[in-house]
Structure 1
Amino acid sequence: MQTLELQAGYSRQGNLYAGDTQNTNTNALVKSLYGDETNRLYRQNISLKWTGAWDNGVSTSSWARYEKTRNTRI
Structure 2
Amino acid sequence: MTQNRKETAWKKNRKFGDIHGGRTKLKYTDGIFKRLHSLLPPTAEQETPIFIIENTSRDFYFPVTIDEIKKTSKRPC
- Largest Rg, 1 or 2: 2
**Larger relative CO (CA 8 A, sep 6+): 1 or 2?**
1
Q: TM-score range by the shorter chain?
A: under 0.3
Q: TM-score, normalised by structure 2?
A: 0.19
Greater helix share, structure number = 2
